[in-house]
Amino acid sequence: MNAIIFDVDGTLWDSCQAVANAWNTVFDRYKELNGKKVTAEEAKSFMGKTSEEIFTALLPDIEEQKRIAITEECGKQEEVEISKNGGKLFDNLEKTLQILSQKYDLYIVSNCQAGYIEAFFDYHKLGHYFKDYENSGRTGKPKGENIKLIIQRNNIKKAFYIGDTQGDYNATKIANIPFLYAKYGFGTIDTEVPFIENIEQLPQKADSLFQTM
C-alpha cells in the first residue's frame, strides 16, 4: 500500500499548553532561571525544532551541561503532562485516520524526544492507526534522515510527508519525497506547495497526490 508519513505538532494536534506547563514546572526547580515562564504561544513558535535547538534558544546563558539536564527534565515532564492531560486533537482527526488507514499505511516522523509520540498514543488511543514511527530523540538523526529510515525499514514504494513548517518541507527534500502542507498548523512555507486547510481534506487530497506519483 502507498504510505502517508505525518508530522505530529501542528499536523495531528496542538500540545502547546501541555508543553508550556511542563517546561514551566521544570524551570521552577532552577533558581538561576529567575522565575522564567513560557506561554503556550511561545512554545508554539518552537514546534518542529529539535530539543537541542529549542533549549539553546530558550536558555542561551545557561552552561551547556546544565542546559542539557534541563532539556532532559523538560522532555520527561512533557510525557507526564501529556499522559495526564493530552493535547488538543484537530477536528475529526480520528475519523480522518480511520478513512485513511483503509487505503494507506500511516506513519509518523517527528523531531520530538523519545517518549513523546508514545505519550500521544497512550492518552488519545490512536497508536493502532500507525504502522511505525520515528523521532530524532531516539535516533539522533534529523527529520529527513528519519523519513528515509521509515521508508527503508518498511519497504515503502510511494509516500508523501504532511507537515506544517519550513523544516518539514526541507526534510522532504532530503528524503526525496513529495510534501503536503498542513496550512492549518503552526508554520509557513517559503514556496508554493500543495496544501490542505483542515485535516478532513486529507483523504481526497491524498487520492489526488498519489494519482500523480
CA atoms within 13 A on the CB side of 68: 2
10 lies in the same domain as 21: no
pLDDT at 13 over 90: yes
Q: For residue 124, what is the domain's CATH number?
A: 3.40.50.1000
108 lies in the same domain as 190: yes
**Count of domains in the chain?**
2
pLDDT at 154 over 90: yes
Mean pLDDT of the chain: 95
Q: For residue 27, what is the domain's CATH number?
A: 1.10.150
Query: Which of 139, 120, 136 lies closest to 128 in space, CA to CA?
Result: 120
Q: Grade residue 159 by pLDDT with cuts at 50, 70 and 90.
A: very high
Segments forming the whole domain that contains residue 92: 3-14+88-211
Q: How far is CA 169 from CA 74, 87, 114, 147, 201, in A?
A: 27, 24, 22, 12, 19
pLDDT at 77 over 90: yes
67 lies in the same domain as 162: no
The pLDDT of residue 175 is 98
7 lies in the same domain as 22: no
The pLDDT of residue 103 is 97
The pLDDT of residue 60 is 93
**Mean pLDDT of the region 11-17:** 95
Q: Which of 62, 85, 108 is the last residue of a domain?
A: 85
For the segment 171-191, what is each residue's pLDDT rounded down to a tens digit? 999 999 999 999 999 999 999
Q: Nine-digit cell at 18?
A: 501541555
Q: Greater confidence, 155 or 50? A: 155
Global pTM reads: 0.92
For the segment 32-70, what is each residue's pLDDT rounded down to a tens digit? 998 999 999 999 888 878 889 999 999 999 999 999 999
Partnered with residue 163 across adjacent β-strands are 181
106 lies in the same domain as 194: yes
